[in-house]
Structure formats: structure tokens, C-alpha cells
Structure 1
Amino acid sequence: MQPGQHMSADIAAQPKIYADLVARQSELAGVAAKIAERRPRFALLAARGSSDHAALYAKYLIEVLLQLPAGLVSPSTTTLYGARPDLTDVLLVSVSQSGGSPDLLEVTESARRQGALTVAVTNTPDSPLNLAAELSVDVGAGPEVAVAATKTYSATLLALYLLIDAVRGGKGEQAAKLGELAQRTLDESQSAVDEAVQRFRFVNRVLTTGRGYSSATAAEAALKLAETSYLSARSYSGADLLHGPVAAVDAETGVLAVTSSGQGGAAMREVLDVVHSRGADVFAVGSAAAKVSAALRIPVAESAEEVAPMLEVLPVQRLALGLSLARGGDPDSPRGLNKVTKTR
């Protein structure tokens, strides 16, 4: 078996997964209707690892599309410190690919006892987390053999979008063509990804950055590069980058900037002007990549800003795959990692 074979297959499967998930919009709308009926006063999101980045994306969706305050849960406040806040009229969304992490299970069970409406979003419909939550959503990505999450991550993003959009009464219109846009993105970005692999293969320090919805992609990019290529990768919001971290940027730093069309991408232009002027090798990914200062640009199909993370993450995954192989690794079996990580 060739190194990276599983990860490559999982990446290639995403366009069909998107199309299949969009076709299930009415199923997710049924869950959304129950959420809307309860009229939560704010939302909390519980997750770990890649799912935590999906939760960050959902936080933006909830605050922007639903106009509800939202926050990310620190599971240890429940599991280690025994906090039991009153969660009456609160929506708790627990996001987990496996649905088997003990800390997320304990947080969900506790939140339900404390009055929250609990929703599990997983790729394992019969998981303990699904059984613990009042409502559940199956992201439908199918089995993922590679350790590094790719299709389960992107499918989780789309499931969260369809769910949250349906809560506000939408029918997933902005996501309707994501399947074909994803295939186009994979096809049209490959040569630029190959070039980026050659430019980044000897870099040991990478900084990833984005704004708004794309903050989640930047965070996921740092994790993928760290776990598959063993790079020292750190993610910063473009809003924070100039407040101090830019001091560490120099000609030896690789910068991956996520810049899709919309307000978040527009806000990155000035930031990248500064970063580029410091001599960093800036690699811009997204539908607005052509509009920012960068040494290399990877095109992504145009979409509404709120669904762009499902497209911009695709070449990022391909970059992580390519870099791992170019550096002599096997992204299907990163050292020291397991498919399911259990924490408390």
C-alpha cells in the first residue's frame, strides 16, 4: 500500500459527500425545527481537535446568521473542576467525528441535566454521544481510515451550515452547488498545490492566518501541517497577527493565508501587505487570493463567504498530504497518533 493512499482517497471523495449531504437538507431541517421551537437564548459548542475548528466555524454562523451569542466550551470546567452552570434555554452543540470522547460525553450529559437543549453532530450515528444528546445529526462522511481528518472535517462543516441555516428558515441555497464547486476546486488547484509543496518542503516554521469564517480553515491548516508533516505550525487570526506575532515573521517563515471573497478576505489585505513586506513566503489560498500580496496563490471556486470554508480547506488538505510525502512521511499513519483520541 502506497503512503498517503487513504488520505488521498478521502480528499477525493469530498465532492460527492457534499452533494449527498445537501440532498439530505430536509432531514437536517427537521432537527433545526426543534431547535427553533425552543428559542435558545445563546449557544455553546463543545469539541476537540479538528472538530474544535468546525465548532469555531459554527460559532461564526450562529452569531452572524442567527444573531445569537455563542461560545466554545472548555470541557475541563465540567470534567476536572465539576462546574455545573444553569443552562436553561441554552443550546449545546457537541461536535465529534467519532462521538466517543469521554470528556464531550460528560459535558453533554451534564448540560442536558442542567437544562440545555443538546445536539450531537457526529460521523457515528450509534455513538455514545448521540445517545446522550436529545437531538443528533449524522454528517454522513462514511468510514475514514486515514488518521488525519479530511472528509469528516469538511462534512461536519457542511452539516453545521445546513443545520444552522435551517434554524433561520433557510433551505441551504448557498450550499446547493458545493459538490460541483468542490470538484472544480480540486481540479483547478492541483498544479498550484504541487508548486507550493516544492516551495514549502524545506520550511520548518509555518504561520497560518485568516479572518471571519476562514479563521477555522487557518486553524485546521496549522493542525494538518503539524500532524502530517511535523512542522512547527501556529494559527493566528489576521486581527491579532499585527499585535505582536508578526515580530516572529521573517524570510524563513512560511505563511499560509486563507483569503476568500467577502468581508473576512478583504480584511486580510492590509495584514498581508505587512507580512509580505517582511520577506515571508506568503501562500494565499481562496477565491480572493489574487487580490492580496503573496508569492504564490492557489485558486478556489467562488462561493458565498459563509460556505467558503468547505472549499478553501480542500487545497490545504492536498498541501498537507503533498508535504508529508515530499518530506518522507506517511500521512495515513502520523507518528504517535490514533484515529480516536480520548481525553477527560
Structure 2
Amino acid sequence: MTSRDSGQRPGQHMSAEVAQQPDMLAGLVDRRGDIAEVARSIAARPPRFALLAARGSSDHAALYAKYLIEVLLGLPTGLVSPSTSTLYGAKPDLRDVLLISVSQSGGSPDLLEVTEAARRQGALTVSVSNTPSSPLHSAAELAVDIGAGPENAVAATKTYTSTLLALYLLIDAVRGGEGAHVASIGEQAQRALDSTEDAVARAVDRYRFVERVITTGRGYSYASAAESALKLAETSYLAARAYSGADLLHGPVAAIDEDTAVLAVTSAGKGGAAMHDVLDAVTGRGADVLAVGSAAGKVPAAVRIEVPETTEEVAPILEILPIQRLALGLALARGGDPDRPRGLQKVTRTR
């Protein structure tokens, strides 16, 4: 049964869940104490380095956390390849290592197996999930509930931003912070949605017929670029590919021409500043640039979607919001239903 057959409007779940995010983020900040308790347990057992395990949108949240841990905590951090455990049976020495497993459902068999194996090998394991009753929460020694509530659209929106904020609150608390930079994140998120509505509509109108998109960002915003490509691919079926701005200049820029749309995530800070050379290069090759972020007004672009400025380390929570709306709008404009992308299910189980 399609959404039209059931009387449900295409995209109504995704639209509602995007709109729920300001209140949801504010509520998570109010529950910071629960996350700080987990952080105290981590701080009491200082790790040699950290590892992150995730898939899909959660993998992009883990990429964000990688930057947070390396920059804010000064710890070497890597992204786990689950197949090293699930397919090859590797048993690395993980004593004094922090493993954070990130999964919205907490039900992916590979992440569960990685977490169980890491705990046996001596790691301090932490699950970050939207499902407190999940096997992943039970398998990990410590657990963080992101508290996003039920998400009905296949495309992750509120669970993604809630995961970002939960990871920030966790890592900030490990370093002794009290979440000062996100104290008003709910209000900022509401402004980010309200103030970008017209610009998002212009972007939908301009890019509704595009077929090839490159997304790019640097630093913390690289995670936003990766999540943007996934959202555009799964909702609008676009050929979307994400690159770090630095990697884009190391070869892929040669494939960019006037038929390429480039979504550049550029927020105030060192990462956004490093994007200037990247955008000079792609505009020089004729690409049509859509700039999104608090520094979007300072770069060459055909369309700019500016969001409120915040400290660079929490910018990804805000800059992804209008991009979610863009993915929703493009999917509807192209005749699709982003609540039910073809061939996809809400929970993907891999090993």
C-alpha cells in the first residue's frame, strides 16, 4: 500500500519530524545530567584512544564525534570496520580503549557483535541509541539514550541531530564541560528552520532537475556533507557523493563541470575558512554552488542558505536542518515520497 492509497500525504512524517527537532534538542539538554553520569564513568577510566562503530546516518554522527574526541579530548580516534570482527574474527587488544557504538535502532547485528567482542577484549563500551530496550544497550557497559522518540519516516532526521547533540554532551562532559555552548540549542534550531524557509524553497526550485551532486565540507562540517549526500540519495535518488574539501582538490575536482551541483557546508570557524580555496576551484570549473551554513554569505554561490552562527564544534547540529528540508522538498518536487524511499526499510540489518 502506498502513502497515497492509505490517505497519508507523501513526506508528512519526514516534515513533522524535521519540525519536532527544536523541542527535542531542548529536552535533551535538560536531560544532560544522565549523559554527564556516563561521562564521569569514562573520565574515571582514561582511555589510550577511542574507537567508534556505526552504520548509515549514525556513521556520519560518529564521524562528527571523531572530530570532537580528537580536538576536544586530544585522543587518537578511529572508525571501526565491523567486518574485521564479524567476517574475519579479528581480536585486537582493546585494553584501556573506549569504544562508542552508535545506532538509532540498536538492533544491527554487526554493531552488536562488534560491541560484544570489544567488551571481551577489554574495551570500555558505550552505546548511543534511540532504543533503550535494544540489544546494543544491553551489550555495552554504559548506555546513552538519545531520547528522540519514535521516528516514522525512513530517512533519519530527528534521530540524527539528537545523536549529534548526545555525542557532543557526552564528550564535552568528559572534558569537564557543562554544555554551555548548547544551552540554547533548541531556540537556535528553531531560528535555523524558520529563517531558512525561503532560501530552501529557492534551492528546491533551482535544483529539482539536477542529477549529479557533490557535497563537501571540512572539519566538523565534513560529517554534515556526508549526511547531506545520504539524504539526497535516499530521498530524491540523486547521484550524490560526499568529499572532504581537501580530498576534493586531490583529484575528484577534475570531474566537476557546469552540469554539477555542489552543496558546500561552510560554517564560521577554521573548517569553513578552509573551504574558500575549494569553492574557488569548483566555481572556476563552472559548478553551480549551493552554500549552507553560518558562513554561507561569505563564499561564491548561486544560492545561499545561512543559519545562525554558533561555536564551530556544535555547528553540525544546526547546519543539517535546512538540508533535511531541502531533501524533503526535492523529493516531493521530483514526485517521490521521502517517507518511503524505494528499496529501503527503517532498520537495516547487516553483518
Question: Is 2:81 the partner of 1:41?
Answer: no
Question: Is 2:145 the partner of 1:138?
Answer: yes
Q: SS in structure 2 opposite 1:149?
A: coil
C-alpha RMSD over aligned residues: 0.4
Shift of 1:65: 0.3
Corresponding position of 1:187: 194
Corresponding position of 1:25: 32
Q: SS in structure 2 opposite 1:308?
A: helix
Q: 2:264 aligns with which of 253, 257, 260?
A: 257
Question: Is 2:115 the partner of 1:120?
Answer: no
Q: 1:292 aligns with which of 285, 288, 299?
A: 299
Corresponding position of 1:163: 170
Query: Using the alignment, how far apart are the partners of 2:293 and 2:28 within structure 1?
Result: 23
Query: Using the alignment, how far apart are the partners of 2:208 and 2:302 within structure 1?
Result: 15
Query: Using the alignment, how far apart are the partners of 1:255 and 1:200 within structure 2?
Result: 10
Q: SS in structure 2 opposite 1:247?
A: helix
CA displacement, residues 46-77 of structure 1 (integer Å, 9 cap, x when unaligned):
00000000000000000000000000000000
Shift of 1:202: 0.6
Query: Using the alignment, how far apart are the partners of 2:207 and 2:301 within structure 1?
Result: 14
Figure out how many residues of one structure are paired with residues of the other and give that number: 344
Q: How does 1:267-278 map to 2 (within 5 A)?
A: 267-278=274-285
CA displacement, residues 136-187 of structure 1 (integer Å, 9 cap, x when unaligned):
0000000000000000000000000000000000000001111000000100
Corresponding position of 2:204: 197
TM-score, normalised with respect to structure 1 = 1.00
Q: SS in structure 1 opposite 2:156?
A: coil
Query: Using the alignment, how far apart are the partners of 1:11 and 1:218 within structure 2?
Result: 18
CA displacement, residues 256-302 of structure 1 (integer Å, 9 cap, x when unaligned):
00000000000001110111121111000000001111111001011
Corresponding position of 2:273: 266
Corresponding position of 1:12: 19
Question: Is 2:350 the partner of 1:343?
Answer: yes
Residue type at the aligned position of 2:275: M
CA displacement, residues 195-249 of structure 1 (integer Å, 9 cap, x when unaligned):
0001111100000000000000000000000000000000000011111101111
Shift of 1:25: 1.1
Q: SS in structure 2 opposite 1:314?
A: helix
Residue type at the aligned position of 1:267: A
Question: Is 2:77 the partner of 1:70?
Answer: yes
Residue type at the aligned position of 1:130: H
Corresponding position of 1:310: 317
Corresponding position of 1:322: 329
Q: SS in structure 2 opposite 1:38?
A: coil
Corresponding position of 2:3: none
Structure 1 residue runs of 5 or longer lacking an equivalent are none
Question: Is 2:58 the partner of 1:58?
Answer: no
Q: SS in structure 1 opposite 2:126?
A: strand
TM-score, normalised with respect to structure 2 = 0.98
Percent identity reads 75
Query: Using the alignment, how far apart are the partners of 1:137 and 1:84 within structure 2?
Result: 25
Shift of 1:22: 0.6
Query: Using the alignment, how far apart are the partners of 1:242 and 1:25 within structure 2?
Result: 40
Structure 2 residue runs of 5 or longer lacking an equivalent are 1-7
Question: Is 2:107 the partner of 1:79?
Answer: no
